[in-house]
Structure 1
């Protein structure tokens, strides 16, 4: 990293839906001495945003179709926040610029194929330059990745051995969806529908592993499952349904385990579900959630139904109202058993719409972790995961920002 950089953080895509939320959070919570810039395609929109936020931050015009502008952007700052998706369509040139410049980078992608390509193309470069490329620093996949990290730390402190079956349960949530999220899903489905190799890659449980051939053979690991709560932990009542982001988050957590030389354990198995309660109707609710998840994916894959859905779902740049964002929340409970039979549960919860207000906090605090976190962060470069890159540094920052992150031993 060159000594001439005079910015600490740049928000790229700052005038987009999540970009504005992230910039607004930084404007209110920026530590003294941290210099921030706003970047995007249109200077006038960026200047208007800066005026609305009441900040005198540097403005930079940069575009995914102009590699030179991205190189200049990466070379001007220590950390780049990218909110410009779908990342498979717009994101790779900026990853390349940051990896080559030795600039730390964070984003919000939930796209397996983009993440895999980033690893294959730029992990070695980032290791050489020291750039920490950290994907998925929002609701996907920080609660999953740092939640398991918290369980691992507790078991290691107690000396109870490696983790075995571990389950993330989205116990409660309220929030909306943006057009950008739908557009990313649409982009991924287009690729896997047309490309059989991409479809097989996305379906593999270790598709983001540094070396899938070294991963343990633990049998079938289904992504979208319906379970009775007691099959997860004796204390958990009710039914669970498939969690749509399990197809991505599980691969992030497994990559963290592999990057840590399987510190969680060689028999570590991980899955994610969403709780649907314990009423007599909960089995029906679980089935409806599962059917709805499959129906949305199928509907977006085929032109006749996509034509209808495209007119009903939010457009890129649109998202939940301020009221929805403020009234949102999420509670995630994780359960694990160790090789010695000890059982733990972790809770990761926050106020604010999980995909937007809470995500803006997680993304901004991830960038701040890199900008001011110091020696406790991961020292080397590469395409990393949140748990590996940030660990306890981000956990502590999120707690200070009002998040609940805690672990309790059950037996």
Structure 2
């Protein structure tokens, strides 16, 4: 029966990221008033999933009331059975280009909500094209990019845009990601594999985009966005910046497209009048803007290391033999940035991030009518928090899941969406702030 279904199931619980998601979710199960969230964990191997649960619960014993479900992304019947047992799937099985679609398909057909942590634009756009209409019909809410890719970017752009109070208006904002640690910054092989496959399939994404109907574009006042330089020094924040081909910009642009089509946002399936008013007021304060993504370093030597990695992926990722080499020897081709074993627990604990948003616009919208097209105002905001892949990502994913569990009536009935357009008007930002992810305004000033 419906009320016997689990609130959520974590699929891929024994994976490197999945076990961190399990650990964080275990700490969120007990609610005010004695209520408890009922979750399950799933994967191909019952023994490996059980081992991940023991790791996640340590030093305590694992809860006895969390079911372990065998489910394999290559077995549609097992995924259908999984969906019959839950209202929500948190999919941690990547690369999503290879393994994501069967899970989305099962959730959509079962009318089950779906969240993931992908940063793969090709997968996200393909899922929207293939499943949006059916998801609307079945009441399945499918939301990708709910990890570090791309919750900080989505909420960061929204937070930044809301700082431009009338009569000021934004024109553009660029984000600069700085990763900091007193140990080495290390990613796992799954993240690297997704990047390599993205290069290999870039033409498929271009073909998909050409095949889709044109949609509304956000109306951004002022001149076109400036041409980005590959490398530049940003003196106002003290960083060398390297332009990135990031999924964050694509996800933010998708949210702005939905907002251009529905300026008041997406109505909830059974939202009350108070939330409807809140949603409309919220989006009335968010202005469209051009968005660029950079990674920031304090030294040019670090920039050179990232360029070395990027060139290897670009040059070798288009060939089968090249991809095999990249994935067989990631430590060599990335100078140790990615390892098959992933980061150690100490490396995870020591890492933090700062994402600085440097925005330019106009102190008064009337400046545009006077043909003064050069921005005369600058606002700098920042999001900062713990390590991006295994601390921040579980926080953002699970908090999105808790909103789905607690506030489902205030969210759209179904469809395939980016996270910003769904979670923007909710209390997601406040939840993240309570969990160690800060939002702050650094400065506002006029410029010449």
TM-score (norm 1): 0.84
Aligned runs of 1:317-332 on 2, under 5 Å?
318-332=341-355
Specify the SS of the correspondent of 2:420: helix
Q: Distance in 1 between matches of 2:437 and 2:154?
A: 15
Which residue is 1:273 aligned to? 294
Q: Distance in 2 between matches of 1:221 and 1:97?
A: 43
Asked if the contact 1:7–1:37 (Cα under 8 Å) also holds between the matched residues in 2, the reply is: yes
Specify the SS of the correspondent of 1:7: coil
Which residue is 2:16 aligned to? 17
Residues 50 and 171 of structure 1: CA distance in aligned 2, closer, same or farther (over 3 Å): closer
Residues 305 and 187 of structure 1: CA distance in aligned 2, closer, same or farther (over 3 Å): closer
Match of 1:173 among 172, 175, 180: 180
Which residue is 1:200 aligned to? 206
Q: Distance in 2 between matches of 1:276 and 1:289?
A: 10
Q: Deviations over 1:66-108 (max 9, x none)?
A: 2122122223212210010111111101111212222221111
- 1:386 lines up with 2:419 in the alignment: yes
Aligned runs of 1:178-189 on 2, under 5 Å?
178-189=188-199
Which residue is 1:335 aligned to? 358
- 1:240 lines up with 2:241 in the alignment: yes
Q: Distance in 2 between matches of 1:222 and 1:77?
A: 47
Alpha-carbon shift at residue 29 of structure 1 (Å) = 2.8
Alpha-carbon shift at residue 150 of structure 1 (Å) = 1.0
Which residue is 2:232 aligned to? 227
Aligned runs of 1:47-66 on 2, under 5 Å?
47-52=50-55, 53=57, 54-56=62-64, 57-66=66-75
Asked if the contact 1:7–1:76 (Cα under 8 Å) also holds between the matched residues in 2, the reply is: yes
Asked if the contact 1:79–1:104 (Cα under 8 Å) also holds between the matched residues in 2, the reply is: yes
Asked if the contact 1:40–1:61 (Cα under 8 Å) also holds between the matched residues in 2, the reply is: yes
Q: Deviations over 1:238-275 (max 9, x none)?
A: 431123xx431100011111111266546x21101122
Which residue is 1:146 aligned to? 155
Alpha-carbon shift at residue 330 of structure 1 (Å) = 0.5
Residues 49 and 310 of structure 1: CA distance in aligned 2, closer, same or farther (over 3 Å): closer
Q: Distance in 2 between matches of 1:317 and 1:223?
A: 33
Asked if the contact 1:348–1:406 (Cα under 8 Å) also holds between the matched residues in 2, the reply is: yes
Which residue is 1:103 aligned to? 112
Q: Distance in 2 between matches of 1:211 and 1:287?
A: 40
Which residue is 2:139 aligned to? 130
Alpha-carbon shift at residue 389 of structure 1 (Å) = 1.8
Aligned runs of 1:34-49 on 2, under 5 Å?
34-49=37-52
Specify the SS of the correspondent of 2:357: strand
Which one has the largest radius of gyration? 2
Alpha-carbon shift at residue 354 of structure 1 (Å) = 1.2
Q: Distance in 1 between matches of 2:428 and 2:113?
A: 15
Q: How many residues align?
A: 387
